[in-house]
Amino acid sequence: MSKGIVFDKLDGSSFRIGIVVSRWNNHITDALLGRCKEALFETGVEEKNISVYQVPGAFEIPFVVSKLIREKNIDVIICLGSLIKGETMHFEYIADSVTKAIMRLNIDNDIPIIYGVLTCLTEQQAIDRSSESKNSGYEWGKAAIEMAKMLKH
């Protein structure tokens, strides 16, 4: 089964990357960030060309993405967050609004944005997607380079 992500022959050496990562559930988001950066380095992205912006929770991600688009010279933005369903409606409202805001910023601007926000029903589901053996951050890093390349062509 293909996940659609291209893993080989990606050259990220000329790209500047902005990563907006939320601290909420940081045991998950730190792991996503680490693997995402490893995927970027594998494509030749230089450490100095990666700018990481921390925000309190996923809800704050679109605000910073919007600022980056307007103010920074960046080729691709990666959003990393981890929403885990609780007892109230918070999860539904934040997941829905953040997802729609990121999509709107993506299609309204000439810069690709990678949607790396886990929306999990349990903490275990989030752990399973941010572990050593299986980590979605890696795929999102590769997807970012593929999309940055697309913008340049």
Q: Is 83 in the site for ligand DLZ (CB under 6 A)?
A: yes
Of 27, 67, 72, 90, which residue is the catalytic one?
Answer: 90
Active site residue 90: yes
Smaller CB separation from ligand DLZ, 74 or 83? 83
CB 56 within 8 A of CB 25: no
CB burial of 99-133 (b: ≥16 within 10 Å; e: otherwise) equals bebbeebbeeeebbbbbbbbbbeeeeebbebbeee
Q: Is 64 in the site for ligand DLZ (CB under 6 A)?
A: no
How many residues touch ligand DLZ (CB under 6 A)?
Answer: 15
Q: Is 24 in the site for ligand DLZ (CB under 6 A)?
A: yes
Task: Tell me the closest approach of the beta carbon of residue 148 to ligand DLZ, in angstroms.
Answer: 25
Task: Tell me the closest approach of the beta carbon of residue 153 to ligand DLZ, in angstroms.
Answer: 34
CA torsion sign, 50 to 51 to 54 to 57? negative
Task: Tell me the closest approach of the beta carbon of residue 2 to ligand DLZ, in angstroms.
Answer: 29
Helix boundaries (H) for the chain:
26-42, 61-71, 90-108, 123-128, 136-152
Q: 52: which strand partners?
A: 19
Q: Is 31 in the site for ligand DLZ (CB under 6 A)?
A: no
**Closest listed residue to residue 29, CA positions, set 62, 54, 1, 4:** 54
Q: Is 90 in the site for ligand DLZ (CB under 6 A)?
A: yes
CA within 13 Å, CB half, 94: 21
Q: Is 53 in the site for ligand DLZ (CB under 6 A)?
A: no
In the chain, what is the greatest distance between 2 CA atoms, to the nearest angstrom? 46
Residues that bind ligand DLZ (CB under 6 A): 22, 24-25, 56-60, 81-84, 86, 90, 94
Q: Which residues does the annotation mark as catalytic?
A: 90
Indicate the annotated binding residues for (2S)-2-hydroxy-3-oxobutyl phosphate.
Answer: 87-88, 129
